[in-house]
Amino acid sequence: MIALLIAYAQSQPHMPQINLVYWVIIGGTLLLSLAVSGMLKSRFSEYSQVPIRMTGAQVAEAMLRAHGIRDVRVVSTPGSLTDHYDPVSKTVNLSEPVYAMNSVAAAAVAAHECGHAVQHQQAYQWLAFRSKMVPAVQFASNMLNWIMMLSIFGMFMFGPMTLWIYVALFGVTTLFALVTLPVEFDASRRALVWLEGSGLAASMEHEKAKNALFWAAMTYVAGAVGSLAQLLYFLMMALGQRREE
């Protein structure tokens, strides 16, 4: 499949001539993401078998109360690993297994999402910055999708100027991926501090919760690394075209 994509891209004069390095970056990023995702699912499955006395929903509600947060609701959302905090609706959305399960894995995930609610309450600067970036990221992502779609059908020409536009748009999404890292690591730190202080988890369970959150954070690291590598590749391509002019 990759070989066919390479051949097609090289046959289109309106598309930038992507060489083997780019496909190595894509392949390496994909393999890294799959490896991290596989490890996360493995750890979540393993730690889901370690019971505690509270469900994920109860853990979330207890952590919110402990921080004096009364205006955030804990709700169940369909799917697996779909957990997230929504600052607009002020809801901690827990996937169905996490919401109802009383395990170390569920407690770790629930506490992590509540960590974002605590960040919101305390106006954590990186979360605020990431929230302000959302409209720009949505615009950049939509534009990137349109550019690639139009270029495939020969309706968009990649010249020096348009390549720089592509780099700028990709830079916005890459910056968002990088800004996400301190937000996620800080939420995990807050979750672990609360879990340890609450006495909910014994020392061995605390280490398991820490390990589960570590691999969850690694999914964001893998995405950021892949995005940064692609940005640098297209930046070098744009700089190379400038030198040829």
What is the distance between the alpha carbons of residues 205 and 207, in angstroms, rounded to a whole number? 5
Domain spans in the chain, listed from the N-terminal domain onward: 2-50+123-244
Q: Say what percent of the chain tops pLDDT 90.
A: 52
**Residue 243 above 80 pLDDT?**
no
Phi, psi of 154 (to 5 degrees): 75, 20
Name beta bridge partners: 75: 93
Structure tokens at 186: 């800080």
Least confident range of 28-37, 63-72, 130-139, 165-174: 28-37
Q: Say what percent of the chain tops pLDDT 70.
A: 84
**Residue 87 above 60 pLDDT?**
yes
According to the model, what pLDDT value does residue 202 have? Answer: 60
Average predicted confidence (pLDDT) for the chain: 84
The model's pLDDT over 35-81, given as tens digits with 9 standing for 90+, comes to 998 998 888 889 889 888 899 999 999 999 999 999 999 999 998 88
**Residue 154 above 70 pLDDT?**
no
Phi, psi of 208 (to 5 degrees): -70, -40
What is the distance between the alpha carbons of residues 235 and 224, in angstroms, rounded to a whole number? 16
Q: Looking at residues 82-90, what average pLDDT do you find?
A: 93
Q: Looking at residues 225-243, what average pLDDT do you find?
A: 82
What is the distance between the alpha carbons of residues 203 and 196, in angstroms, rounded to a whole number? 8
According to the model, what pLDDT value does residue 2 have? Answer: 36
The model's pLDDT over 211-227, given as tens digits with 9 standing for 90+, comes to 989 989 999 999 999 99
Catalytic annotation, pick one of 113, 205, 207, 245: 113
Global model pTM greater than 0.75 = yes
According to the model, what pLDDT value does residue 165 have? Answer: 87
According to the model, what pLDDT value does residue 23 have? Answer: 77
Query: Among the ranges 34-43, 83-92, 191-200, which has the highest mean pLDDT value?
Result: 83-92
Residue 157: pLDDT band by 50, 70, 90 thresholds?
low
Cβ neighbours of residue 77 closer than 8 Å, sequence gap 6 or more = 83, 84, 93, 94, 95, 96, 99
Q: Is 113 a catalytic residue?
A: yes
Residue 146: pLDDT band by 50, 70, 90 thresholds?
confident
What is the distance between the alpha carbons of residues 138 and 125, in angstroms, rounded to a whole number? 21
